[in-house]
Structure 1
Amino acid sequence: MKQRLEYIDILRGFAIFLVVLGHVLEHAGLKDDFLFYFIYSFHMPLFICISGFVSAYVYHDKLYINNINKMGGGKFILKKFNAIMIPYILWSIIVIPFFFQTYHNSIDIGGIIRAAFIENTS
């Protein structure tokens, strides 16, 4: 397996810091501030670029370097999809009823399922 790339970890930490700072500015009522707009102009694309780079880095390692665990692109994507989506769905099912109980008088199971798959509940 390839070694961790420290500069990627540092860049990821910086991106996390920017997300937290952006949320702090938003909740502090500074949505019209230049810093808020600046952070929100690139922090999510930065995460997507980092994720794509890390996925390609890991995929290259699994496909070309480590011949014992050689896997095709479809298996790799399915494995990554399951690693992300199963915890997301479970978390949504656990957390959404609390949001519904806070904002609505009754809990609607159909609404919870729609929210888990359609709305941004993360």
Structure 2
Amino acid sequence: MNLSERIRLLLEENNLKQKDLAKEIGVTESYISALLNGRNSNISQALATLIEEKYGYSNSWVLYGTEPKLRMVGKNKTLSDIHKKAILQIEKLNPGQIKAVLAFVKALEEIENDFKEQP
């Protein structure tokens, strides 16, 4: 997977438009367009690190396509990509939002338990 494909995947997985990504990482839309069209086939280490901090993709994956795609979070090294992505998103939440997520998870557990108890 080349850099253009990795940037395209980042956009898709995060439901971003080119202008949103450009604004978030401090570059121009034309720079993102050049990456996507292959006119620019490499980015700086600093920009890859910024992408890692903002979106959780490891800078080595952004730069070279080396796995793991997402930076490691937590102590559990066997987490799937979707679990890692969820943890990375939770890290960005404020305390009130985290309480809401925990309430949602608790409600899911209760619903699941209700279904288990039914014949």
Q: TM-score, normalised by structure 1?
A: 0.22
Rg: which structure is higher? Answer: 1
Q: TM-score, normalised by structure 2?
A: 0.23
Which one has a larger percent helix, Structure 1 or Structure 2? 1
